[in-house]
């Protein structure tokens, strides 16, 4: 079973559901864990839950983390951006062998198994930005965090925890 996760607010909900539709059309044996930032939308979407789509309310994360709550109060845009690592870390529990975060505006034209096979036995899967050469520093950083994979190993969990901590201390 592949455990995937994404996040959106109401304005990106249609994109996130399109991501799910692309997964249904091209892949199998997955669960898309979907964090909704708007509690009202969560209540409406909960009725669509099934064996391959599970919704979560932002309240579930905020209740467990005072730092996350303070980030939301200070800078909502940064808060939304920081959720990718937090939600992935929240989901990587012992019964899951890995977690793959996917931005809600991504659409798959092929089976996700291709991507997971390319990760192989690696404990982390990242995609490099290819818009500039590696030897040049850019504000965007070297890696695109639109799709990020972490295996449930000691190293994979530590790397994911580091990412979650790193966004707190921008």
> Which residues make beta-bridge pairs with 151?
98
- How many domains is the chain built from? 1
Residue range(s) defining the domain that contains residue 60: 2-168
pLDDT tens for 51-94 read: 999 999 998 888 877 777 777 777 777 778 788 999 999 999 99
Which tens digits make up the pLDDT trace of 19-44? Answer: 999 999 999 999 999 999 988 899 99
β-strand partners of 102? 147
d(CA 170, CA 10): 26
Which CATH number characterizes residue 139's domain?
Answer: 3.90.550.10
Inform me whether the pLDDT recorded for 153 exceeds 70: yes
Mean of pLDDT values over 109-131: 86
Q: Which residues of 65-156 form beta strands (DSSP E)?
A: 98-102, 124-128, 143-151
Spatial contact of 72 and 83, defined as CB atoms under 8 Å apart: no
């Amino acid at each position: 079973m592949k455990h995937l996760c994404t996040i959106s607010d109401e304005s990106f909900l249609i994109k996130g559901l399109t991501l799910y539709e692309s997964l249904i059309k091209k892949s199998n044996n997955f669960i898309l864990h979907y964090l909704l930032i708007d509690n009202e939308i969560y209540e409406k979407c909960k009725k669509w839950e099934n064996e391959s789509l599970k919704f979560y309310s932002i309240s579930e994360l905020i209740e467990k983390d005072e730092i996350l709550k303070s980030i939301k109060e200070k800078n909502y845009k940064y808060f939304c951006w920081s959720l990718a690592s937090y939600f992935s870390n929240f989901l990587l529990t012992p019964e899951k062998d890995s977690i793959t975060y996917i931005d809600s505006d991504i659409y798959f034209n092929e089976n996700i198994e291709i991507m997971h096979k390319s990760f192989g036995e690696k404990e982390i899967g990242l995609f490099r930005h290819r818009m500039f050469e590696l030897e040049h520093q850019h504000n965007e950083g070297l890696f695109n965090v639109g799709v990020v994979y972490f295996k449930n190993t000691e190293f994979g969990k530590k790397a994911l925890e580091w990412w979650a901590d790193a966004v707190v201390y921008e």
